[in-house]
């Protein structure tokens, strides 16, 4: 399951990178850039330039044999996942979304943007955390301390647990926005579904319930699997038909590609809860 989840995540990231680099604009994937930030086009190229090779490395790793992997390739995969995690965590979340969201805290759309960043971050964080034992990063301890274990504390199974909590916080923020802007979200409900507003509330409540379960560990494997299935359902029932109806619409394509990456990240989280990690 983990290999398929990582492949799905990497394919979504590849699509995101292609759209960002082609447009020279993070807005192609609905990532707003505040007016006070200089050189937004250069920032888009930087982010796309991280996502493209990083996604290729993750995709190659997803299909590589688990046993006998060359140490050099494993290191490249680990560094690629770490770079993607930094892109989503420091650039998208901390620099581009969080300041504006804190400036207008009552606007839940901003919090949803932060939540989506955290979901995307979780997939890369887990890939980096699982790529090598934390001891591989002990040489970083002289640069700065992150808890008593230094940067290594963000890796290994401890890092996986932290990434799951980031994911739980992310889907909680998304769920809150289902209630804050419920009417706007009805456009994503398939036309054949009755009572669209009820589906928005239901899926928002499902996000919140899954977040609580994953964060507390109560029925976490089931909750993570159902959450991943729900996000995948959005891809299949909302975004794919929208692109099929308007194949030239860049906005619809961007939403589909982003949703694929988020679904991949959700399945990665679910896979970490299905049993102990296999040695790499």
189/66: higher pLDDT: 189
Q: How many domains does the chain have?
A: 1
| Spatial separation of the C-alpha atoms in residues 186 and 201, rounded to whole Å | 10
Residue 122 lies inside a defined structural domain of this protein: yes
pLDDT at 111: 93
Residue 278 lies inside a defined structural domain of this protein: no
The structure's pTM equals 0.88
Residue pLDDT, tens place only, 191-214: 889 999 999 999 999 999 999 999
Q: What is the number of residues in the chain?
A: 280
End-to-end CA distance of the chain: 15
| Spatial separation of the C-alpha atoms in residues 128 and 61, rounded to whole Å | 12
Residue pLDDT, tens place only, 63-84: 774 544 545 567 778 889 999 9
Residue 217 lies inside a defined structural domain of this protein: yes
Query: Residue 253 sits in which domain range?
Result: 2-272
Angle (CA) 184 188 191, round 5°: 110
Residue 141 lies inside a defined structural domain of this protein: yes
Helix, strand, coil in percent for the chain, rounding step 5? 80, 0, 20
Look at residues 45, 185, 50, 34 and name the one whose alpha carbon lies nearest to residue 102: 34
pLDDT at residue 261 greater than cutoff 90: yes
Counting residues of the chain whose pLDDT is more than 70, the rounded percentage is: 87
Residue 13 lies inside a defined structural domain of this protein: yes
Residue 172 lies inside a defined structural domain of this protein: yes
Q: Identify the weakest region by mean pLDDT among 33-37, 67-71, 90-94, 177-181.
A: 67-71
pLDDT at 141: 41
Say how many CA atoms lie within 13 Å of 113 toward its Cβ: 24
pLDDT at residue 5 greater than cutoff 80: yes
Look at residues 213, 219, 189 and name the one whose alpha carbon lies nearest to residue 201: 189
Residue 264 lies inside a defined structural domain of this protein: yes
64/160: higher pLDDT: 160
pLDDT at residue 148 greater than cutoff 70: no
pLDDT at 224: 97
Residue pLDDT, tens place only, 235-247: 999 999 999 999 9
Q: What mean pLDDT is predicted for residues 151-176?
A: 90
pLDDT at residue 97 greater than cutoff 90: yes
User: According to the 3-state scheme, what is the secondary structure of 100-115?
Assistant: HHHHCCCCHHHHHHHH
């Amino acid at each position: 399951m983990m290999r398929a989840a990582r492949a799905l995540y990497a394919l979504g990231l590849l699509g995101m990178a292609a759209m960002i680099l082609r447009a020279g604009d993070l807005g192609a994937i609905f990532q707003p850039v505040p007016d006070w930030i200089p050189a937004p086009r250069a920032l888009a190229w930087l982010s796309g330039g991280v996502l493209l090779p990083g996604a290729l490395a993750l995709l190659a790793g997803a299909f590589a044999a688990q046993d006998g992997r060359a140490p050099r390739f494993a290191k490249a995969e680990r560094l690629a996942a770490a770079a993607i995690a930094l892109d989503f965590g420091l650039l998208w979340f901390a620099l581009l979304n969080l300041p504006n969201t804190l400036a207008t805290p009552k606007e839940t759309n901003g919090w949803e943007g932060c939540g989506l960043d955290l979901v995307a971050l979780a997939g890369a964080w887990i890939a980096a955390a699982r790529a090598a034992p934390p001891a591989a990063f002990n040489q970083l301890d002289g640069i700065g301390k992150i808890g008593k274990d230094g940067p290594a504390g963000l890796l290994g199974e401890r890092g996986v647990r932290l990434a799951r909590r980031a994911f739980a916080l992310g889907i909680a923020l998304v769920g809150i926005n289902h209630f804050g802007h419920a009417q706007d979200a009805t456009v994503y409900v398939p036309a054949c579904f009755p009572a669209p507003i009820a589906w928005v509330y239901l899926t928002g409540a499902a996000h919140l319930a899954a977040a609580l379960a994953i964060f507390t560990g109560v029925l976490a494997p089931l909750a993570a699997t159902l959450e991943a299935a729900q996000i995948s359902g959005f891809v299949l029932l909302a975004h794919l038909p929208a692109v099929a109806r308007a194949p030239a619409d860049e906005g619809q394509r961007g939403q589909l590609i982003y949703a694929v990456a988020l679904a991949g990240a959700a399945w990665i989280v679910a896979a970490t809860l299905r049993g102990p990690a296999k040695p790499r």
